[in-house]
């Protein structure tokens, strides 16, 4: 890593090995029926593709675009659906796939929205969780890693759309923006 503002928090190897464990656990928890993975764009798409391949059973994959963050590091508190699902959730087991739960605003909103579509079950799998930052209650069933209150980038996570394609998850320090 040449950029001096990035420090590795979770290596690619740690991430991949934890995702394999999560895939096995989720596969065991859903032995049958239609299981839909709903990927929250854009950050969760790296996690989705690795988790789906770690599964020991078929999964449907669909995408939802949600925006809460403007530019920078703080949430506006406003949630907007920018892309809706293609496949009906009625009667299906549904797992929301998220990169990180921070304030909980996004997932709190999304749980209410998707419950109205009558899935058989609705749960959340997130790669990262920052429990210290929670403002809205969210029940998260599968958590890859709990992390401290630091702004992180890489493996799908961005700062102003940058750094998503890093293999590792890194802490972004003194990078300007609106400072959290
Ligand atoms: P929440 O609604 O505050 O829980 O925010 C969830 C969304 O904020 C995530 O899906 C990310 O897109 C973004 N986010 C929260 N924390 C970070 C971070 O540390 N790095 C990059 N994006 C973040
Ligand atoms: Mg996101």
CA-to-CA distance for 24 and 142, rounded, in angstroms?
A: 12
In the predicted structure, residue 144 carries a pLDDT above the cut 90: yes
> Which residue, by CA, sits nearest to atom 5 of ligand 1?
102
Residue pair 64/140 in contact (Cβ under 8 Å)? The answer is no
Give the model's pLDDT for residue 80.
87
102 is catalytic: yes
In the predicted structure, residue 177 carries a pLDDT above the cut 60: no
Of residues 41 and 70, more confidence is placed in 41
> Which residue, by CA, sits nearest to atom 3 of ligand 1?
103
Residue pair 171/157 in contact (Cβ under 8 Å)? The answer is no
How many angstroms does the Cα of residue 65 sit away from the middle of ligand 1? 13
State pTM to two decimals.
0.91
In the predicted structure, residue 178 carries a pLDDT above the cut 60: no
Q: Mind listing the pLDDT tens digit for each residue in 56-113? A: 999 999 999 998 755 556 666 678 899 999 999 999 999 999 999 999 999 999 999 9
Distance of CA 121 to the CA centre of its chain: 18
User: Tokens 């709190």 belong to which residue?
Assistant: 108
User: Tokens 């740690």 belong to which residue?
Assistant: 14
Give the model's pLDDT for residue 180.
43
DSSP β-bridge partners for residue 139: none
Q: Which phi and psi (to 5°) does residue 142 adopt?
A: -120, 120
Ligand 1 neighbour 102 (Cβ under 6 A): yes
How many angstroms does the Cα of residue 98 sit away from the middle of ligand 2? 6
């Amino acid at each position: 890593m040449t950029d001096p503002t990035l420090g590795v928090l979770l290596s690619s190897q740690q991430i991949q090995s934890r995702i394999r464990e999560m895939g096995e656990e989720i596969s065991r928890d859903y032995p049958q029926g239609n299981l839909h993975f709903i990927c929250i764009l854009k950050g969760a798409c790296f996690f989705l593709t690795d988790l789906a391949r770690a599964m020991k059973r078929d999964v449907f994959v669909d995408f939802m675009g949600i925006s809460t963050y403007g530019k920078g590091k703080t949430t506006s508190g406003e949630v907007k659906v920018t892309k809706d699902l293609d496949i009906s959730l009625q009667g299906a087991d549904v797992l929301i796939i998220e990169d990180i739960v921070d304030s909980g605003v996004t997932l709190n909103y999304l749980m209410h929205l998707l419950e109205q579509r009558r899935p058989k079950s609705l749960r959340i799998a997130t790669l990262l969780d920052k429990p210290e930052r929670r403002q809205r209650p969210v029940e998260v069933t599968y958590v890859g890693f709990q992390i401290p209150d630091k702004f992180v980038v890489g493996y799908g996570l961005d700062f102003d759309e940058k750094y998503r394609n890093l293999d590792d998850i890194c802490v972004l320090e003194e990078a300007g923006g609106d400072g959290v």
